[in-house]
Amino acid sequence: MPKTRIELDCGNLSPFISGRDFASIFSEVKRAHELLIDRTGEGGASLGWLDLPDDTPDELIRDIENCAGEIRETSEVLVVIGIGGSYLGSRAALEFCRPEGLKVVFAGINLDADYLQDVLDGLKGRDVCVNVISKSGATLEPAAAFRVIYNYMKKRYSSRQLKKRIICTTDRQKGTLKKIADSEGFRKFFIPQDVEGRFSVLTPVGLLPQAASGIDIRELLRGGSDMKDLCSALDLEKNISYRYAAARQLLYRKGKNIEILSGFNPCLYYLAEWWRQLFAESEGKQGKGIFPASCVLTTDLHSIGQMIQEGARNLFETFMAVEKPKREIKVPAMDKNIDGLDYIKGKGFSFINNQARVGTRKAHMDGGVPNMSIKIADRSAYSLGSLFFFFEKAVAISAYIQGVNPFNQPGVEAYKKNMFELLGRENTKP
């Protein structure tokens, strides 16, 4: 069995949930495990993500790597157009790994004119490629942004050049975006039919932008594959995904209906954004669900720290921290110790940050906030792939324990229905 670079520490749960509590929920974990592995639970047709780390064809990986290489050779900027699961995983990866080289910007993530104009302004004088991502092609935010950016690209490049500079990631068989790609001769990558958007980070949806940015997608998939092996056993001690899922549901039953994912490194900000969508869309149904919130520490200890420490006791916390930063800075000496900081002289910021994390965990536990801690070895693609699969497996088990389908999102359509009526879509459908 491979050695994981992700560790889960549940030590600060002991005052709130016991070994007996874990034993009591084991039969439900077992049932959720069977529904998932046998693919007999609700949403069983959307379990392709389980196979991605091991079964992504090498030919597809090579095609993605070749396309990514061409993007880097011909362009200075890649515009990724997509919303929700079509962009959050890639943005999380870019912030986490922070590769050097090609600039990647995101459009179609909102309907704000200023944001889109800022994107366009940033393209001036630079060669550009575009990756538009949508299974249907009908989601308004990316579809509208693509119209604008496609118009911009047509003014800059010939039809022949556009066929290489615009890449569509979409459904293999149907949808508006596929029709556009076929009609205009754009390059295409396909989203597997059995993978929902929020689970698509290890499909071409996430792999192409990450590869274009310089991230080693083979290492990303290897990390996911090793985590898949480590999280295959029906054992709450060895299987950290299952232990995390079980702990969440036990705390939920004790009235803790808000989870705060607290990252102690700014590079975790968009990973937490990806996590929020993954858990909110998977669990928030039928009047049930743990509300996923997030913050970046120590920054947010100076804003919402008071609420966490002494507010309503309806929340629990999961800390995340990178154990080994890419770089280190040590606190230098100062003449006469005029600022009184000689007690940290010569110490690295990562050491100080870790002591802040340990102190915060204890303070919040003493304040009545149960907490767990996820330790991430480093900022490598391998560690990130492990983390992606850890959370995907955990949310599937957690949602099945809760009694909801982890793989649909019927409530997302409510605002769209009202918006389309207000915009008069009935009369303008393609």
Work out the angle between the directed axes of helices 140-156 and 413-423 (0-180°, nearest 10): 60
Enter the DSSP assignment of 100: S
Enter the DSSP assignment of 423: H
Q: Which of 281, 283, 317, 392 is catalytic?
A: 281
364 part of the active site: no
Residue of 29, 65, 403, 47 lying closest to 235 (CA atoms):
29
Contact 329, 338 (CB under 8 A): no
DSSP sequence for 224-236:
HHHHHHHT-SS-T
Contact 229, 237 (CB under 8 A): no
Instruction: Determine the residue type at 221.
Output: L
For 251, counting Cβ atoms within 10 Å of its Cβ (0-12 exposed, 13-18 middle, 19+ buried), the class is buried
CA distances from 221 to 58, 88, 164 (A): 11, 17, 26
Q: Which of 3, 302, 336, 429 is catalytic?
A: 302
Instruction: Determine the residue type at 174.
Output: K
Q: Which of 174, 179, 345, 416 is catalytic?
A: 416
Residue of 120, 139, 135, 115 lying closest to 79 (CA atoms):
120
281 part of the active site: yes
324 part of the active site: no
Distance between CA atoms of residues 80 and 180, nearest Å: 17
Could you give the residue numbers annotated as active site?
Answer: 281, 302, 416
